[in-house]
Amino acid sequence: MVALRFRLLLVLAALAAFGGALWAPFQFDDFSLLADPVLDAPQGWRHAFELLQTRPLTFLTFWANVQVSREPWTFHLLSLALHLIAVWLAAGVLRELLPERAAWLAAALFAVHPLQTEAVVYVFARATLLAAVLCLLSLQLWLRGRRWAAAAAFCFALLAKEEVAAFPLVLALLEWSTSRKRAAVAPLSAMLALAAAGGARAAWAASSIAGSGAGSQAGVTSFDYFSYQGVAILRYLWLALAPLGLTVDAEVRTAPLAAALAWGVISVVAILCWRAFRAAQPGFWILAGLVLLLPSSSVFPAADLAADRRMYLPLLCFAAAFGLVLRRASTWLLCGYAVAQDPPQKAACAHPSARGGYSTTGGRPPPCARRC
């Protein structure tokens, strides 16, 4: 009952944090997306199955959206609903993999972290949300021993967005660090084959579609893109710790020396995490987050050198590591971190009062300060 109540509170917190998106207008690529005449056609859903149609599952959601209404709030409503579903699933899988306090901390960060704003509010980024929901469903099924059902869910995630191609590697790391059951080999192999096929198809489509802004049409070489991604990843990690200076157009172009140093730092972190690699420990989660970033932040070039929405699913892993580190921290430390993220807010810690509102704690720590 307590777990269910907390999951409901997380969903309500996410709704409070991002509910304002319902009043947001369309932005940037939203307009080019809605300019596609196929979305208005009653039989437009058939185009989702064309060979050159990337992210067919996401395309189907946009087609269905347009059939109902072209009002911005209807598009934001579905994106917000997907985030709330992701929060619900994330809380469940984290509770199965982490100690209770760490799981709730990680789930809360995933639910309301400012870094999630672009994925939730930007209509064009719906593919990120849909793919993340399906990956979380796949993880839930995997943890319950339904491995082939998890593989099927991952297949649908690839149809939503190919950037989740590295997700089977995370499952492989989890399996290798825990049970190492032979029954996991066949479904994992199938998922890796699907990921390879999905990635190859995405690369082919990007090079074949005029103005795709990816692959050979990204306007940047694979080498240059890779060199800039070290700085982009460090920027993501910094924003995960201190989300200050969020922008939709981050500048990550740097000199070769700085780019090399950035990748050097990431390599050292990855090696240290591998040496301290254990299931459900910080090293595992940091490594898993870096793995999830590989498809979008390595050698396959895109016109956007950095985009905060690419951290949506990886943030779950980094939040898990953060939750493990701070699970025994005092509530005052956690409140101080929250205030540091949002300086304009008052620095008073609060806890639920008997009337369901909030009251200051004075000199005493609130009940949630007890160590788990």
- Distance, CA of 3 to CA of 103 (rounded, Å): 11
Exposed (0-12), middle (13-18) or buried (19+): which is 87, by Cβ within 10 Å?
buried
pLDDT, residue 135, reads: 96
Domain count, the chain: 2
pLDDT, residue 370, reads: 35
C-beta pairs of 49-55 under 8 Å, 24+ apart in sequence: 51/205, 52/205, 52/208, 52/209, 53/205, 54/162, 54/202, 54/205, 54/206, 54/209, 55/127, 55/159, 55/160, 55/161, 55/162
What pTM does this model have? 0.83
pLDDT, residue 55, reads: 83
**pLDDT tens digits, residue range 129-171?**
999 999 999 999 999 989 999 999 999 999 999 889 999 999 9
Intervals of the chain under pLDDT 70: 1-2, 45, 210-213, 215-218, 279, 328-372
pLDDT, residue 357, reads: 34
Are residues 135 and 198 part of one domain?
A: yes
Are residues 361 and 269 part of one domain?
A: no
In the DSSP assignment, the letter for residue 45 is G
Are residues 23 and 8 part of one domain?
A: yes
pLDDT, residue 36, reads: 75
pLDDT, residue 352, reads: 34
Are residues 358 and 320 part of one domain?
A: no
Are residues 175 and 315 part of one domain?
A: yes
Are residues 336 and 302 part of one domain?
A: no
Are residues 366 and 251 part of one domain?
A: no
Are residues 10 and 26 part of one domain?
A: yes
Are residues 66 and 123 part of one domain?
A: yes
Are residues 180 and 248 part of one domain?
A: yes
Are residues 261 and 150 part of one domain?
A: yes
pLDDT, residue 368, reads: 36
Q: Which domain holds residue 59?
A: 2-327
Are residues 343 and 292 part of one domain?
A: no
pLDDT, residue 134, reads: 96
Nearest to 125 by CA among 179, 78, 193, 195: 78
pLDDT, residue 259, reads: 85
CA-to-CA separations, 176 to 72, 100, 277, in angstroms, rounded: 45, 23, 11
